[in-house]
Amino acid sequence: MIRTRGALLLAAVVVAGAALTGCSSSDDSSTASSATPTPSASMVGGMTECTEAAIKPTLEAGLAKDVELMSWDALSCADGWAVVGATVGDGEHGAPSPFIFEAEGQFWIPKQQQDVCGTVNFDVNPAPYPADALIPEALFTEGCLVG
């Protein structure tokens, strides 16, 4: 019985060691160079790029099943945030709408106006940037006052 336990323990250690070896990174220069992202002017907070290609799939995935993206009209980015101006509708009729996203690592997270625009004073024209807004001031007008 002791001999069997010892053999099982040894087998478990060998399997665990093999599994950890399979998870380790390689020092191969071709692997290392492809794993390191190259910074560019469009990089925003981490690995996310502020481009239509990076944001559009998230926007489309968040639309209701009977709503489609009819046109991508504008994209503005600042401080890890993005505002997309897009026309959405049923395919025949559409309405321009702003979509707000915040970069988190390599993902764009959709945000709702009521959650990030703060307490907007619509009695003043133009509405001033609220002190409690989360969205950057550079994106406030197009993200919060349109739509």
CA dist., res. 78 & res. 44, Å (int): 8
Q: How many CA atoms lie within 13 A of 135 on its CB side?
A: 30
pLDDT in tens, 46-92: 578 999 999 999 999 999 999 999 999 999 999 999 999 999 999 88
At 46 the pLDDT is: 55
Residue 131 CB: number of other CB atoms within 10 A? 7
Terminal CA-CA length for the chain: 74
Mean pLDDT for the stretch of residues 14-42: 39
Q: Looking at 20-29, 56-65, 94-103, which range is the least confident one?
A: 20-29
b/e 25-41 (16+ beta carbons within 10 angstroms → b): eeeeeeeeeeeeeeeee
Domain map (residue ranges) of the chain: 2-35, 45-144
CA dist., res. 89 & res. 28, Å (int): 50
